[in-house]
Structure formats: C-alpha cells, structure tokens
Amino acid sequence: MDMPKTIVVALAGNPNSGKTTLFNELTGSHQHVGNYPGVTVEKKEGDREYAGHRLHFVDLPGTYSLTAYSLEEVVARNFILHDKPDVVVDVVDASNLERNLYLASMFLELDVPVVLALNMMDVAETKGKQINVELLSELFGLPVVPVVARRGHGAEKLLDAVLAAAEEGRPRQIRINYGPELEQHIEELTAAIEAQRLRAEPEGGAAEVQRGPLHLGRGRQRRHHGPGRGHEREALKPRGMHADLALADISLSELPARWTAIKLLEDDSQVRQRVERLGAEGEALLRMTDAARAHIAEVFGDDPEIALADRRYGFVSGACREAVTSVAQDRRDWSERVDTVLANRVFGLPIFFFLMWVMFEGVFRLGNPLMLGLEIFFNWLHATATAYLPPGQLQSLIADGVVGGVGGVLVFLPNILLLFVAISLFEDSGYMSRAAFVVDRVMHQVGLHGKSFISMLIGFGCSVPAVLATRTLESPRERLVTILVVPLMSCGARLPVYILLTGAFFSPQAAGKVIFAIYALGVFLALLMAKLFSRYLFPGPPTPFVMELPPYRFPTLKGTLIHMWERGWLYVRKAGTTILAMSVVMWFLLSYPRLPADPALTAGQNAERAILHSYAGRLGKTLEPAMKPLGFDYKVATGLFAGLAAKEIIVSTFGTIYSLEGTDEKSQELRSALRADPGLNPLVAFTLMVFVLIYIPCVSTVAAIYKETCSWKWTLFSVGYTCALAWVVGFVVYQTGMLLGLGA
C-alpha cells in the first residue's frame, strides 16, 4: 500500500488569536481553549487526513514575537528552525490586525512557507473593519485565508492553501525593506555569513535555502534536543531552563542567512552564541556585527533593535493602512464596559475576593456530597477485596496498598474537577488576566508576578497542576520561585489531616478557625519565602508585567468541560501511576519486616505492633529525637513518614498505628483514640498541622517539580527547605505554646 506523504504543519500566532480553537477544528482533537495568555505552552500535536495527504499539526506556543528572551518564543522559533515544518500557519486575529501581523512579518524572514489564517473576521466586522484579503495577500506575498475558528468556517479552504503552500513553497518572496542605512548593514552581514558557509561546506550544501516539494515529509526526521548530560549543569541555573533549547545542534548553514544577519544586529543572544562557536570566523562575524551595531546606534541615536522593530512596524502598519478600511466604529464595546466594573479601582479587589470566595464555597459545598459517595464506593471496594481475596500478603497489598492508597487520593476527584471548572471559567472568560492585573501589586512586592497568583490559587486544590500552571510565567526566575513556594499553599490532600486533628482536639466552633489559621499561615509563608528567594537566591530586576487583557468572551460549555476533563485526567493519571507505585512502596515499608501475630493479643494490637516493627516504624523511632522538640513521638513521626506518598495517607496510617481498621478523618473511634494518647494534646495537634502544611510536598509534587525544573538541585532544594522550614516553624509554635502553658 502507498503510504500517504506526511506534511508537517506548525500552527503559530499571538496568544488569544484563536489558535488552539483552530487547532481543535483542524485536527478534531480535544484541547483546552483558554483566554489566558500562554495557556498552550506545551507542544500539542494532532493528525488529519485531507485530499489524500496526511497532515500532522503542531500547535506552537502563542507568542507576540520571535526573540530569544522568552521561553515560548524560543520554543516556537526553534521548532521552525530545527524541525523545519513544511508549512507554518500563522493564525492572525483580524480584529487586532496590526499587532498580529507584526509576528507574521517575522515569519517572512524565516524562509518557510507561511499561510495566514485570518481568524475572527466576524469580530473585525462588528468593530467596523473591512479587510481586503487579496490586497493583504499581495502585500505580504503570502496566501491569506479568512476563517472563523469558533464556528469552523473556512477550515477546508485553509487546508487547500496549506497543501498548495507545501507543494509550491512561497509564491513570492516579500522582503521587509529596512531602509538604505539598515539594509546596507544587513546585506553586508548576509554576504559575510553566506561566504562563511561556502567555506565551511564546499560541496555546495549552503546553496540549498529554498525548500519545495522535494522536502515533503522532512519534518518527520525529528531532532531530539532534550536535556542531555552536558546541559544538566546549565539547567541548575534559573536562566538555564532555556539551555536545552539553544541553537547548539543546528548548523549555521541551516539558518536563513538574512534572518541570521538581522538577529545578529538585534543582538540576539542565541544566534550570537551560535556564531561564537564558529571560532575565528565567528569572531570576525561578531566584530563586523559590533561595528555595524555601533554605527546604527550612532546614525539613529537609538538601539539597532529599536530601529529594526520600527521599520518592521512601519511595514506592517503601512500594509494595514492599505488593506483595512475602517467604518464608523463602536466607541466602547461591552468588554470595555465590563472592565470599568471588574477592574475598577474601588470595586476591583472586593469583586475579586468575592469571586474567589464563591469559587471555594462552590467547590466544597458541591464537592463534599460527591466525595462522600466516592468514599462509600472505595470502602465497599476495600471490603470486597478483603472478602474475596484469601487472607495474606496479597490481600493486604491489594486492599490496603492499592485500593487504600489510590482510593484515598481519588476521593478528592470531585473537588478537584469542580475547582478546575471554576478556574477554566475564569480563564476562558478572560477574567484570569484581570485577576492578575488586580493583585499584581501584592505579588510584585514579594518578587512574583500577577500570574504567579493563579498558580498559588490552583495550589489550594492540588500542588501538581499548580506547579504545571507556572508555565504561564515567562521568566525562569519568577517561575522557579513560584514553583518553590506553591507547595506551601495548603492543598486539598492536607485537609483530611486537619479535619481529623481539629475534630479530635478542638471544639466544632474552634475547628473552622483553626483550619483557617493553617491556610492563612500557608499563604503567609508562601509570600514570605517568595520574597526571601527572589531577594537572596535570584537577585535581579523582575520581568515585565506587559500582559494583554483579552476581550471578555463567553466560555463555551464544551471548552469548559474539555478543560476540566484534561486537568482532571492529569490528576487521575497521577493517582494511577505515581501514587499507585508509591502506595505499594509505602505499603511495603509499613508491612515489612513482618512480625508473627501474637495470639494473646487482639488483632488491633497486633497491627499496632506490626507497624512499629516495620521499616517505617523503625524510621519513626530513629527520627523521634529530632521530632521531640516539636512534641512529636515516634507514632507521629511514622505517620509523617507515610505522608510522603500523599499527605492524606497520614490519616489512614494513624488509623493503623492506633490499631483501628477502616478509619477516615471523620471516624469517631480514631478521634477518641487520638484523644486518649497521652502524647497528644491540642498544642501538639496544632504543631502537627503546621508541620503537615509545610513539610515535603508529596511524591507526586516532587516529581512534577523535577519535571518542570529539569534540575535535581532545585528539586532537592524544594524538599530540603520545606523540611527545614517545617521543623523551624513547628519548633517555634510548639515551644511558644509550651511557654504560654498551652501544652497541658
């Protein structure tokens, strides 16, 4: 059978240009559609058969430019340079044409076939704008296809244009004319780069710049540029997060010469480094570059970067002036009127806090009954497993290890799904960036970004997606600080521990206040540590808070459900993999070495002896001296150790330690057992809650931190500092309490 050719199509565009919506429309895959800048940082792929061809779509991160300054931009441009897609579809928001075309103007220089998908034509029309598509196509020398991604209009025409572009390449090469002065320097440098190539590759490989039908399917040969050994050291530095994306493994001859020349004049750090690596010839090029830059700076009285950007904007705004006719337009659209209330100086913060309150009330009010239902289900599953499996180690492994461990995590699924629904509503409606706008001042004071707030908010639900959500932060520094402090936000898994302990040691009236105090302490510590980290660990200027406030849009039910499902699935997968594995490991540590049951004792007492005899129990014993100043004995230490897998496991471990079966945080028997323990009192219980709040984020979070930082150093730092902080704060709380005579 004839294999159809695979055409690799990269989808590029500004954030909020409807790129992801179009991607879903083209591939039929279900993806998140958000309004918040930078939601699609991950590379998303999808396939489509069309007219006998196989099209492979890659959703590039949404960017405003293609510089070396931000992670998203580097990811996007390196994909084009490294993987050489056959066609780039640049999604352009027709209602915001000028800024969107600025990015398109950068694709002109990348020597890659580009198709402009003119999205949101309907919005542009309601804004009173008529766009002459043919003229725009003429001016840019690119095929332009109007589409309305939300309604799926124009998708087929776009696919036709993509196929044509893949086969024919660029119909006409339009060059941005940077004016005589700049052009002279660009041409000199381009010539020097081309000459260097010819010397480097005498076989004539350098002559190959234009790519046409011969190269169909070339994108299949992916380069893998994951973080190798050599990059590991670099990854330890916060700015090293870009390290694996450097242009290291691409030969200069594969970069378009004119683009390289322009980037050199712009002092693009990555291109500069790449040229530096050429040795003596590279040095000559850089000397030339520096001389040209100095000359341009003198002539224009400004940075070459400004001069170049200005010419580029000149080209774009000139094109817009010619191709767009504005009819009388609405002065203030409804989105702006909404902002006069939601982003208002007086009402902005109260509304923000009200919405946050509604979100949490909603999540917990609606979620708790569902959670109870799931608990009943897992209790039943546990009972069934115990009943049908022969007693012994397998029964214990399945019932206690697997069902107990995974079930204990999955019961939180309703709460987490609801939380994600709320967050998705905020994101898709466009409120999320207003929230960042409203609270940025506070975040900025502790060295964070308004967007960090969103991660911290998600942290109340679960630290894992919160760590993943830091991807919306551009600066590696702020991102790292956010990742480090996010686990201090008290996640849902810590709540059962608080409920158990407050239920046992505090009156129902006081319980709510105590739990609130713990949450507040978490927020306070997160802000404090953020301030300390950004001040002492990574001194330097903060990243700009130059963020688009997209127009408000009505969230679609489909979009919200997809979003909820995607993030919920992440949580379920975590439960199915990491937590499952850790549950088995923890089960092993808590069950071995085994102790033969003493027939003289009750089953409960045997269980208690067994757990204290196990590795975990022994570790707890070993840790006891270190925990004594906090008022914790070996039983508590054992429980805390078990909590490494997931913090709610502390509850079930206490259940085992206190010789009880089938306990949860509401269990009356466990509460009375805890109360009966002379080693525990309200002060110790409070200290324990503080400790549980702060100490090591659970294994899944640690895994997520490693995945996001690509650095063992920062992962271990995160583990280490939370332990140290937990101990210090716990010590202060306990000792102060003792001094105040609360330890009775």
Q: Which residue, 250 or 297, is less far from another protein as judged by CB?
A: 297
134-138's contacts with Cβ under 8 Å and 24+ in sequence apart are: 135/322, 135/323, 136/319, 136/323
Task: Tell me how far, at minimum, the Cβ of 463 lies from another protein, in Å.
Answer: 27
Q: Is the omega angle on the peptide bond into residue 593 within 30 degrees of 0, that is, cis?
A: yes
Query: What does each C-alpha distance from 268 to 8, 105, 261, 476 come to in angstroms?
Result: 27, 17, 10, 18
Which stretch of DSSP H or E encloses residue 306? helix 304-323
Q: How far is the CB of 438 from another protein (least distance, A)?
A: 6
**Residues in 449-478 that interact with another protein by CB under 8 A:** 450
Total number of residues that touch another protein (CB under 8 A): 63
**549 is a site residue for another protein (CB under 8 A):** yes
Q: Is 444 in the site for another protein (CB under 8 A)?
A: yes
CB of 450 to another protein, least distance (A): 8
Measured from the CB of residue 102, what is the shortest distance to another protein in angstroms? 7
User: What are residue 33's phi and psi, to 5 degrees?
Assistant: -115, 110
Quote the CA–CA distance of 423 and 359 in Å, as a whole number: 8
Q: Supply φ then ψ for residue 713, to 5 degrees.
A: -60, -50
Q: Of the two residues 149 and 343, which places its CB atom closer to another protein in the complex?
A: 343
Nearer Cβ to another protein, position 401 or 450? 450
3-state secondary structure 138-154: HHHCCCEEECECCCCEC
**Minimum distance from residue 73 beta carbon to another protein (Å):** 9
Dist. CA 7–CA 26, nearest whole Å: 14
> Among residues 303, 375, 566, 677, which is the contact residue for another protein, using CB under 8 A?
303
According to DSSP, the residues that pair with 58 across neighbouring strands are 10, 45
For another protein, the binding residue among 10, 11, 142, 176 (CB under 8 A) is: 176
Question: Least Å distance between CB 551 and another protein?
Answer: 8
Q: Check residue 306 for interaction with another protein (CB under 8 A).
A: yes
Q: What Cα–Cα distance (Å) separates residue 558 from each residue in 34, 263, 367, 414, 566?
A: 12, 42, 21, 18, 12
Q: Is 238 in the site for another protein (CB under 8 A)?
A: no
Torsion of CA 251, 252, 258, 263, to 10 degrees: 100
Of 70 and 502, which CB lies nearer to another protein in the complex structure? 70
120 binds another protein (CB under 8 A): no
Binding span for another protein by CB under 8 A among 414-422, 538-546, 613-621, 716-724: 538-546
The answer to whether 126 contacts another protein (rule: CB under 8 A) is no
**Does 344 engage in binding with another protein (CB under 8 A)?**
yes
Select the residue interacting with another protein from 390, 539, 596, 741 (CB under 8 A): 539
Element (H, E) at 131: strand 129-131
DSSP per-residue string spanning 80-102? IIII--SEEEEEEEGGGHHHHHH
The answer to whether residue 311 forms part of the interface with another protein (CB under 8 A) is yes
99 binds another protein (CB under 8 A): yes
Contact partners, residue 331, CB within 8 Å, separation at least 6: none
Which residue in 35, 40, 119, 433 binds another protein (CB under 8 A)? 433
CA dihedral for 696, 700, 701, 704, sign (positive or negative): positive
Residue with tokens 């320097």: 185
- Which listed range, 371-379, 534-542, 701-709, 728-736, lies at the site for another protein (CB under 8 A)? 534-542
- How far, in Å, CA of 260 to CA of 67, rounded? 12
Q: Which is nearer to another protein, 222 or 345 (CB)?
A: 345
Closest CA to 66 of 104, 97, 40: 104
Binder of another protein out of 285, 438, 504, 607 (CB under 8 A):
438
> Which stretch in 224-232, 411-419, 436-444, 499-507 sits in contact with another protein by CB under 8 A?
436-444
Should residue 546 be labelled a site residue for another protein when binding is judged by CB under 8 A? yes
| Binder of another protein out of 339, 478, 608, 664 (CB under 8 A) | 339
Look at residue 544 and give its three-state secondary structure.
coil
With respect to another protein, which residue has the nearer C-beta, 301 or 678?
Answer: 301
- The yes or no reply on residue 69 touching another protein (CB under 8 A) is yes
Residues 135-154 that bind another protein (CB under 8 A): 139
283 binds another protein (CB under 8 A): no
Confirm or reject binding of residue 348 to another protein (CB under 8 A).
Answer: yes
Nearest residue (CB) to another protein, 99 versus 618: 99
Q: How far apart are CA 469 and CA 466, in angstroms?
A: 5
Q: Which stretch binds another protein (CB under 8 A): 38-46, 217-225, 299-307, 619-627?
A: 299-307
**Least distance to another protein from the beta carbon of 333, Å?**
10
Among 194, 440, 648, 664, binds another protein (CB under 8 A): 440
Exactly one of 70, 137, 502, 722 binds another protein (CB under 8 A); which one? 70
Residue closer to another protein by CB (options 308, 497) is 308
**Which residues does 703 contact at the CB level (< 8 Å), separation at least 6?**
578
| Nearest by Cα to 559 from 465, 366, 429, 413 | 429
Among 301, 391, 392, 596, binds another protein (CB under 8 A): 301
HSE-CB at 32 with a 13 A cutoff on CA atoms is 25
- 98 touches another protein by CB under 8 A: yes
Q: How far apart are CA 643 and CA 589, in angstroms?
A: 12
Could you tell me which residues come within 8 angstroms of residue 465 by beta carbon, excluding any fewer than 6 positions away? 420, 458, 567, 570, 571
Of residues 133, 349, 381, 499, which one binds another protein by CB under 8 A? Answer: 349
Kindly give the interhelix angle for 649-657 and 668-676, rounded to the nearest 10 degrees.
60
Interaction between residue 302 and another protein (CB under 8 A): yes
Beta-carbon contacts of 733 under 8 Å, excluding residues fewer than 6 positions away, are 686, 687, 690
Which tokens in the block code for residue 167?
A: 């086969």
Please report, as residue ranges, which positions from 312 to 331 form the binding site for another protein (by CB under 8 A): 313-319, 321-322
Q: Are 85 and 10 in contact (CB under 8 A)?
A: yes
Which range of residues in 95-103, 377-385, 626-634, 635-643 is near another protein by CB under 8 A?
A: 95-103
Position among 506, 519, 545, 721 found at the interface with another protein (CB under 8 A)? 545
Q: Which token pair is 70? A: 């931000």
Stretch that binds another protein, among 366-374, 442-450, 574-582, 666-674 (CB under 8 A): 442-450
CA dihedral defined by 716, 717, 718, 722, rounded to 10 degrees?
A: 110
* Rg of the chain taking only CA atoms, in angstroms: 30
Closest approach of Cβ 316 to another protein, in Å?
8
Work out how close the CB of 76 gets to another protein at its nearest, in angstroms, rounded to a whole number. 13
What sign does the dihedral 36-37-41-45 (CA atoms) show?
positive
Which of 411-419, 432-440, 617-625, 681-689 is the region at the interface with another protein (rule: CB under 8 A)? Answer: 432-440
Nearer to another protein, 441 or 707 (CB): 441
Measured CA to CA, the distance from residue 645 to residue 259 in angstroms comes to 50
The structure tokens 């705004």 sit at 317
**Interacting residues of 467 by C-beta distance below 8 A, sequence separation 6+:** 455, 483, 486, 487, 701, 704, 705, 708
Q: How far is the CB of 301 from another protein (least distance, A)?
A: 6
Residue 638 CB-half CA count within 13 A? 26
List 343, 432, 446, 491, residue binding another protein (CB under 8 A): 343
Find the binder of another protein among 160, 310, 566, 669 (CB under 8 A).
310
The minimum distance between CB 676 and another protein, in angstroms, equals: 50
Residues that bind another protein (CB under 8 A): 64-65, 67, 69-70, 96, 98-99, 102, 139, 176-177, 179, 297, 300-303, 305-307, 309-311, 313-319, 321-322, 336, 339-340, 343-346, 348-349, 433, 436-438, 440-442, 444, 450, 539-541, 543-551
